[in-house]
Structure 1
């Protein structure tokens, strides 16, 4: 594996912990700040909204070297998570989560382009999946560790670790990522030209709705596993590792399949599987081991669809690749925010109901990705 791709993956590892650990420590944060689980869910949405606001700023940074942009973004990661560590209440933590989210989408956007440029011929999707793999490893090891430290010491320790890991990210990107040729500067208006066509809108819509469907349920997976499936709070660390294992397998598998077939075909197939899995979670959540296996399957599918969508948007965004790559992260996290909000609204019915609410989101996403794959992908795939 190329050291440059590994350095990029170190970045997504830190971002993955920062984003996903809130699902594991949600009850601890709520108890410490004396707020409800639904209110604590706002910290998930705040991070996602930070992504949505930060990613479009890449339009202004298009003339800077890609490596310099990555280093600046990692500096914001460090600042945001250290701020979260010191947060004294609901509003300060909400602000810290928003700031922590600002560099997330922009980092993925720039790192995706760098990964494709560094990839061997015909291995672009696999290179992007390696870059994204850091986020899956975060869910396999980082999030369970953060969940465990939160239970044993404090949830603040988790954000402190992410802030310190940011220094590691900074060093290895500086040391291992070469200066690669930037994207062609097509001017300010040229960055938006690709949005005149329907293909990118199908991808962005599918990304937002697909992620929204999963995050209706996954935002509240810890209370569901405890109160509906009957797992003990002490078992959450192991269950978060199982979810992370699913993400690792799903991401790396889809990267290879996308190079062998096409990203759109793989993405549409996996999105159809998500619809079925969410429905099964709703019905089978009271059965502990069914709930655990379905959780791992759903997280595997979540990351099996993300790499194909990331690659697809770069290919359809000619002249605005950096903005397009950032846009798909906006769509991801807009879906996260909407999903966490919608899932929170049905918690009074039961912790398994967010999965049911997620089904129509996932179904529409499947339809959009299938439309893209059937009608438009052949125009861009090479």
Structure 2
């Protein structure tokens, strides 16, 4: 595996740590900025807004740039937003930097995916994307708690400086390992990229990505509260259980990366079906600590096992015009990240209790199984001028 793929994973780790760490820093940030904790929590929403918009917009604006230049520009801008955020005394400026940082982070994700799959043979795409996306899994296991510890002992601004430093380190790695120019030898055209998005199977893949991600995040978003409020675990055990979820996620994304290229559709069926069953079982057993903790591990495993396939499937479907397709997939992930917790919040506001979030996750996962089936059926039908998609995606 080329070193550049691991460097891209490091860059995602640095940026993903920023995405996640605010969950552990909100009380300190609220006190320092003179705002309420719920208002400080809107900084997380600001990041989601930037992620939703950034990938497609920057994919178009930088489409003809050399990809190493794009990656370096995005990382530089990301580091700058965190330096400004660490220095600002006001909530408004910090809110703006969260949107701007997420905007370029989404652009980095889209270009990094194209670079990673372009550096490896077709049969290694899933493993490459598993390594890149594994940076976010590592951010969940290491970056989130480390950022929280730094923030609690040195202040939340120190955590922002640490992310800026990690981003600068990733810039050095990208400059040293990512080849200049384009592997395909020619600059892409927006018209070709848009034409590649015309296939219904691409949009079914986006729907699967959004639904599967929402199915996972609607439960994970309220998992800590479920463990203490419904399962009855003491708060001191919650970090350990969340770490167990992270271990499951790491195992899942590693296993999924090994089958994403050769058994794409079976991987999706297995991962999404496992997510549906695990979510339903968690809803049924949330009041009992032993099964609930075991199911949290499986939730991470099945939830992340589909990640490499969801990341690489669009490349097989769009051929030589991958940049906008990858950007659309980043946006689809963020639709799920935003919509899942929102649906869970609606259920909680209605008084349904934390078990309802897992039931919603099960329903969304079943819906994702439906889009997988529709996409598989569409892939069996030959497309004029192209090979059957079944052959393209390793069904």
With the length of structure 1 as denominator, give the TM-score of the two structures: 0.89
Native 8 Å contact 2:123 2:261 kept in 1? yes
Partner of 2:384: none
Deviation string 1:323-357 (CA, Å, 9 cap, x unpaired) is: 11111010001211112222222334233432223
Partner of 1:158: 159
Partner of 2:385: none
What is the CA distance between 1:84 and its match in structure 2? Answer: 4.2
Q: Aligned in 2, Cα 1:226/1:82: closer, same or farther, shift over 3 Å?
A: farther
Q: Which moved more, 1:351-360 or 1:246-255?
A: 351-360
> 2:294, 2:84 → 1: CA distance?
36
Partner of 2:5: 5
Partner of 2:291: 290
Instruction: Tell me the secondary structure at the aligned position of residue 145 of structure 1.
Output: helix
> 1:40, 1:290 → 2: CA distance?
34
Q: How many residues align?
A: 380
Larger RCO, structure (CA 8 Å, separation 6 or more):
1
Deviation string 1:265-292 (CA, Å, 9 cap, x unpaired) is: 3123211211122222222223234333
Deviation string 1:208-244 (CA, Å, 9 cap, x unpaired) is: 1221222222222222233333334433433332222
> 2:157, 2:242 → 1: CA distance?
19
Partner of 2:100: 99
**Which residues of structure 2 form unaligned runs of 5+?**
380-388
Report whether the alignment pairs 1:381 with 2:393.
Answer: yes
Partner of 1:315: 316
Larger Rg computed on CA atoms? 2
Deviation string 1:110-169 (CA, Å, 9 cap, x unpaired) is: 112211222145212111211222111112211222234445554444333222211111
Partner of 1:370: 373
Native 8 Å contact 2:64 2:188 kept in 1? no
> 1:344, 1:372 → 2: CA distance?
30
Native 8 Å contact 1:15 1:104 kept in 2? yes
Instruction: Tell me the secondary structure at the aligned position of residue 345 of structure 1.
Output: helix
What is the CA distance between 1:11 and its match in structure 2? Answer: 0.9
Q: Aligned in 2, Cα 1:121/1:334: closer, same or farther, shift over 3 Å?
A: closer
With the length of structure 2 as denominator, give the TM-score of the two structures: 0.87
Native 8 Å contact 2:26 2:37 kept in 1? no
| Correspondent of 1:210 among 199, 205, 212 | 212
Native 8 Å contact 1:264 1:369 kept in 2? yes
**Which residues of structure 1 form unaligned runs of 5+?**
none
Instruction: Tell me the secondary structure at the aligned position of residue 208 of structure 1.
Output: helix
Q: Aligned in 2, Cα 1:92/1:303: closer, same or farther, shift over 3 Å?
A: farther
What is the CA distance between 1:5 and its match in structure 2? Answer: 1.5
Structural RMSD (CA) = 2.6
